[in-house]
Each structure stands twice: as structure tokens, then as C-alpha cells.
Copies of this chain bind each other. A is one copy, B any other.
Amino acid sequence: MRTKTPQYAERILEAASRLFASRSFHEVRMEDVAGEATVSKGTLYRYFHDKDELYVALLKRASGQITHLMTERVASQTTAREQLVALMEAVVAYFDEQPHLFQLIVRAEPQRELGKFPWQEARDVGHRLVFEIMTEGTRKGELDIPEPHDAAMMLFGGIRAHIGYGRKPRPQGFVRGLVLDFLDGYDRRNRRGI
């Protein structure tokens, strides 16, 4: 039996990603993926037993990529506010470049209660980063967020809704506006001259 190589797996995942991007999940067949990746069906099945295994692998890969991206973007900023903006802008841009990704996550989400959710790392790391920015920002006096865990859930939940169902194309500076309104209040009456 031939061994598996990461290059082949990557090539198959790239091909599958292109197909999921261009048609709905049910319309993508394993033989289409083999064709798009220019590998034999035998090779494809050696790497991925079925379409579920394939899209779960895609989500795990994407989860790793966005985890890296979020961490990097946060490190590139120095203030808590700019870190929150940069993180959320990176997340939304990542999804906007791959509009099929959100639907794949929605498809995988019922597995979450069974502890088998391939997007879990991205969720956990994203939540932890936002929690830490809020906690550290509050400690330094840049922010005052008494319940950063609850606030992080509100912020990510709201951004998730916009990723999946918000208007597109998004206006310039849109995500920045969402994050700053979240911090400063969606009701502008209550702002202190900002």
C-alpha cells in the first residue's frame, strides 16, 4: 500500500474547497473532487473515506489557519481597541474570501454537543483572545469591561450573525464600526462626546 503525503492531502482539500465554493454541499460528488484534484478515485478514497471526512478535514484546516491569523493580527496591534478591531476584521475578511465556509460550519455544528466539532479550536482560541484583550485592557485602564467572558460571547455572537447573514458587500470600515459601537454603545445618545 502506498503511503499518504501531506502534499496530496492538501491538493485534494484545495480542490474540494473550490467545489464547495461553487455549488451546494449536496451537489459535490466524490468523483467531482477526484476530477478537480486530478487524482484517481482510488487515491482520493485512500485519503478521505467520504464527503463528511473531507469537509471535516477542510474545517480543521481552516480552523488552524484562522487561529494563526487571529493570533498574528492581535500581536500586530498595541491598544486593546485596535486589537479587537483587527481580530474581528481578520475573521470577517477570512469568511468573506470563502463564502462557503460558514455553511460548512453550520453543517458541522450539531456535532458540537458530541465533542466532535472541527471548528472548536478556532472558537476556543478566538474567545480566549478576546477575553484576554478585554481583561488586560481593563487592567491597564484602556477599557472597563467588568464581565469579559459574557462580553466576548456577545461580540463573537453578533459578528457571527453578520458573517452568515449580514449585508454584502460590506461598506468600508463596517467591521470596525460594529466593534466600536459594541464598546461605546449602539445607542449614540449615551456617548460622552466621542
Contacts and interface: CB of A to CB of B under 8 A. Distances in A.
Interface of A: 24-25, 103, 106-107, 109-110, 112-114, 143-146, 149-151, 153-162, 165-167, 178, 181-192, 194
B153 A165 contact: yes
A157 B161 contact: yes
B178 A185 contact: no
Contacts of A143: 187, 189
Given A143-B189, A183-B190, A161 B154 contact: yes
Copies of the polypeptide in the assembly: 2
Contacts of A153: 158, 161-162, 165-166
Given A153-B161, A162-B154, A182 B190 contact: no
Given A106-B109, A106-B112, 8 more contacts: A144-B189, A145-B186, A150-B178, A153-B162, A153-B165, A154-B178, A183-B185, A185-B191
A160 B189 CA distance: 26
A-B CB proximity, top 3 nearest: A157-B161, A154-B158, A185-B185
A191 B188 contact: no
A187 B190 CA distance: 12
A97 B23 CA distance: 39
